[in-house]
Amino acid sequence: MYQVQDGYSQYKEIDLAARTAAASPLELVLVLFSGLMDELERARSHIEGRRFEKKAQSINKCIDILNALTSS
């Protein structure tokens, strides 16, 4: 189970790197905003599932994305 998740995480990281390498500034903002919306949905799911540690991790990712959006 964990190996599949690790493989999926690696695939997502490679996909994100490929999308951002050739992206225009507007496309970068859209990628960040899309990631923010996905992470907010994950955080909401963690709150509903009472997985508070994972919720905190998701909220921290949201803050990182917001900081990146602010600086772009």
pLDDT tens track for 27-47: 999 999 999 999 999 999 999
In sequence order, the 6+-apart residues with CB closer than 8 A to the CB of 25 are 72
- Determine, yes or no, domain membership for 16: no
- Determine, yes or no, domain membership for 18: no
Instruction: Give the C-alpha distances (Å, rounded to integers) separating 50 from 14, 23, 36, 46, 53.
Output: 30, 37, 21, 6, 9
Encoded tokens for 50: 């009472």
Q: Which of 1-15, 24-38, 43-57 has the lowest mean pLDDT?
A: 1-15
What is the domain range of residue 47?
24-72
Query: How many domains does one find in the chain?
Result: 1
Report the mean per-residue pLDDT for the chain.
87
